[in-house]
Every structure is written in C-alpha cells, then in structure tokens.
Amino acid sequence: MNPLNSIKILSTRIDDIILSEIPPIIDTFLNDGKSHQIITANPLMLLEVKKNLKLKEVFADASLVVPEGSGILWASKHLKTPLREKIPGIDLMIFLLNYAQKNGNKVFFLGTKEKIISKAVDKIKQKFPKLIIAGYNNGFFSNNEQDVISIIKSSGADILFVGLAIPYQEIWIYNNLKHLGVKIAMGVGGSFDVLSDNLKRAPSWMIKLNIEWLFRVIQQPWRILRIIKLPIFAIKILFNTK
C-alpha cells in the first residue's frame, strides 16, 4: 500500500510525507482491517538494503517509509527529487503517542533492557496520563519469542513500538506482523533510551544545524563505527549509483 507520492534513493522507496499529513494516514491504517508497518529511513538503512535482500523486501512492502534524517533530505535534493521534510523517528513516535492518547488507541512497547523500558514507560505515563498502555516487554526474548508475540496479541494493542537493533527490528516486525494482532507497528531504535532519560536528546540548535548525530556520538562513542559509513552513502549519491 502506498497512496503517497514517493521517490527513489539508491533504488529504495522513500515517501514524501510531512508530519502534518500523518493523522489521516493513521486513521486509515487503524480502520482498514489490515496490519501496517512504518519505517523511518536513514542513510545507513539504505546502505543495508543494498546488501540485505530481506530488508529490501521489508521496505518494498511497508505501508509508510518516512525520511528520518538530514542525509536523506540532502540526497533527495541532490537527485533533484527533493523531499519536503525530515521526520525523526522519536518525533513521529511522540506524535503517535499524542494521537493514541487523543483517540483512545492502545499502545504496546517492546525493546531494550528491562530497566530502561520500565523507566521509559513511567516517563511516558507522566507525559501522556490518559494514554492506554496495553503492556510492555524488554527486548531480550529470543528464548520465548512466541510467548512475547502472544502477549502482544492478547493485549489488544492497536500500535506497537519496537526498539531493537536496526535493521533487526524492521525485519522482526515484518516477519511477525500478521501474528501480532496490531494495526500499526513501527521500529523506534534507541527512542526508549531517550524517553527514559537514559540518554539526552540534542539541544534544538544542534537539531536545526543537522548535527544531532554529533551529540549522539558524544554520549555513545561506539556510534562512530556507524557514522564512518556515511561517506559511502554520500559517494553513491554524488555519483548517482543505483
């Protein structure tokens, strides 16, 4: 399903969507009787798509692929198919939490360590006091995956937020979407770390300058191993590599 205008970056679909256009799309996703996957795409994920056939399939079948980072916007402009807005994953998650609270939709949270996910849920309850939280579970469930899937399904959740490693979370959602009983599932990466205050989000001036990545690297130096892959993405775009 893809009623939106979209472009291709490294042969991968990205939808041209802005945050203000999300509500009617979510309305449809929640009421059409289907299960929908939302992907927040960044440059590193697009590089992974090139070598991961399963992830390529996930992107192709996703109901919505939003441009998450400034690198995606830069690439779209260079390719002369400019996208209108970047939508950071955590911003979209907060947007959906607001939507769910307003409309009475149930949410479920899955991922990260028990200490972090439980703290994130407490913080979310404080910020969204009327939000219906159907349940939550940590991300260490490899030995009881079917039990966790059953818990999510029996919870009656409408929206599932999955915070596992990228791209594992996207593939996990795709493989299990029809068994989870949810109407919308979205990978949120490290958003639970931020919502739990385990990590701080970059100040607004850094976000505006598109250097939020630097703030993340300062807090988590291991991220530099990901960042050094970005020149590969830039080179592929500059030479218009398919």
Closest C-alpha among 160, 139, 131, 133 to residue 35: 160
What is the structure's pLDDT at 154? 98
Closest C-alpha among 82, 105, 108, 104 to residue 18: 82
Report the chain's mean pLDDT, rounded to a whole number. Answer: 92
Length of the chain: 242
d(CA 123, CA 201): 15
Q: What is the pLDDT of residues 59-113, one digit of tens each?
A: 999 999 999 988 999 999 999 999 999 999 999 999 999 999 999 999 999 999 9
Question: How much is the pTM?
Answer: 0.91
In the chain, where the domains are located: 6-195, 204-238
CATH of 6-195, picked from 1.10.10, 1.10.1060, 3.40.50, 3.30.420, is 3.40.50
For residue 184, is pLDDT > 50?
yes
Number of CB atoms found within 10 A of residue 225's CB: 9
For residue 3, is pLDDT > 70?
no
Cis peptide before 167 (omega within 30 of 0): yes
Residues 229 and 44: beta-carbon distance below 8 Å: yes
d(CA 37, CA 53): 17
Q: How far is CA 233 from the centre of its chain?
A: 20
Q: What is the DSSP letter of 183?
A: S
Q: What is the pLDDT of residues 22-72, one digit of tens each?
A: 999 999 999 999 999 999 999 999 999 999 999 999 999 999 999 998 899
